[in-house]
Amino acid sequence: MKYLKLTFLLALAFFLSACSFGYDILIINDSDKPIEVHYKINEKGQFNNPYAKSIEDWNIQKSIRKLWTKEKSWEDLAESEYTTNLETRERTIKIAPYQVIQIESGNYNPVSEEYGDLTDIIELKIKSANGEISYQGKILLSQFEKDGYTFIKRYKDELKVSDIK
């Protein structure tokens, strides 16, 4: 009986650990102008170091997976490119044209966590000279494209023929 309990507990632990996935939240500036990303995290959350990649030679619409298969690795974003206010739990990042920023990464356990609760980000605003996107609350991640466990918000402000799918 004792062994049965132990086996059950081990099996449960294995099951839960096997069901945990790493997730990433990316913002892509697919425009030729810089954009500003402003976000706020909840009280239990912590800021990740933002990482950046250039997307110049990629056709994002064809496959976002290229982000991961490309040999080029993520680089730390220069400190001059973002500001963090720990008191208000807000961060502002400037994203250069055709740059991808990873603003959050973590673990997601689909068994115990609701999809909308996944991120610590509770507010997100993306601004450029050509418009604004802003989300507040649990609606936030549902407005991202999902590729596996990568959540992507792509900021594009001109309709370009070169982007053909």
Partner 1 sequence: MKYRKLLLTIAVFSLAFFCASCSWFSRFVIINKSGEPIEIRLKYAPLSGERNLRKTNLDEKGKIIDENWQQLAPEEFQDNKPEEIVTLKLAPNEAVLVAEELNYTGHNSGNADFFKIKSLDIKGARGVIHLEDKQVLMQFREENESLYTIIYQ
Interface residue list for partner 1 (CB under 8 A): 61, 116, 126, 130-140, 142-143, 155-161, 163-165
Q: Which is nearer to partner 1, 31 or 99 (CB)?
A: 31
Q: Which is nearer to partner 1, 82 or 135 (CB)?
A: 135
| Nearest approach, Cβ of residue 104 and partner 1 (Å) | 17
In whole angstroms, how far apart are CA 66 and each of 33, 35, 70, 73, 89?
A: 23, 23, 6, 12, 32
Alpha carbon distance 115, 99 (integer Å): 27
Q: Among 164, 127, 154, 140, which Cα is nearest to 64's? A: 154
| Nearest approach, Cβ of residue 127 and partner 1 (Å) | 9
Find out whether 128 and 38 touch, Cβ atoms under 8 Å: no
Q: Per the structure block, which two tokens stand in for 64?
A: 């976002």
| Nearest approach, Cβ of residue 60 and partner 1 (Å) | 12
